[in-house]
């Protein structure tokens, strides 16, 4: 499930600030990067299964490896994890309403934190 119109898409920020804001909101990169992109995740273990809130970012300049990148945020997604295949984001998935609400709140907080630095989409 992709979160539409949350106004995080297209926010650009320096890597250090992006990592700080995401971490403050429970979204961690933990090795999910290469030299031109980063993915921030928050894991939810519920009785219904394991879910991930994911925020995809791509470098528009600099290098993620040496922490000099400026990154642009892509469309956030909520996916369900299936062993051993991985995370599915499909429209066929059914996500608990309380989880969707919590993820929307997290994304709103991220937006608010960037706005405090004068950064908006």
Calpha distance 71→69 (Å, rounded): 6
Dump pLDDT digits (tens) for 50-89. 999 999 999 999 999 888 999 999 999 999 999 888 898 8
Output the average pLDDT for the chain: 92
State the Cα–Cα distance between residues 21 and 43, nearest whole angstrom. 17
Instruction: Tell me the C-alpha distance between 91 and 94, whole Å.
Output: 8
Q: Look at the block and give the residue holding tokens 């600099």.
A: 62
Please state, in angstroms and as integers, the Cα–Cα distance from residue 87 to each residue in 36, 81, 84, following that order.
22, 4, 9
* The listed CATH number (3.40.50.10190, 3.40.50.410, 3.40.50.300, 3.30.310.100) that belongs to domain 11-116: 3.30.310.100
> Residues 14-24: pLDDT tens digits?
999 999 999 99
pTM of the model: 0.92
Query: What's the pLDDT tens digit per position in 69-78?
Result: 999 999 999 9
- DSSP letter, residue 55: E
Q: In sequence order, which residues have a C-beta less than 8 Å from that of residue 42 and are 6 or more positions away? A: 25, 26, 27, 28, 52, 53, 103, 106
């Amino acid at each position: 499930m992709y979160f539409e119109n949350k106004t995080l898409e297209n926010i650009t920020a320096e890597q250090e600030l992006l990592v700080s804001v995401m971490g403050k909101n429970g979204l961690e990169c933990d090795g999910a990067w290469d030299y031109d992109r980063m993915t921030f995740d928050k894991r939810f273990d519920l009785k219904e299964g394991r879910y991930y809130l994911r925020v995809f970012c791509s470098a528009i300049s600099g290098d993620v490896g040496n922490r000099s990148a400026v990154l642009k945020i892509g469309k956030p997604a909520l996916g369900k994890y299936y062993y051993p295949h991985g995370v599915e984001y499909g429209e066929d998935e059914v996500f608990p309403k309380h989880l969707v609400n919590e993820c929307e709140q997290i994304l709103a907080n991220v937006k608010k934190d960037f706005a405090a630095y004068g950064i908006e989409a």
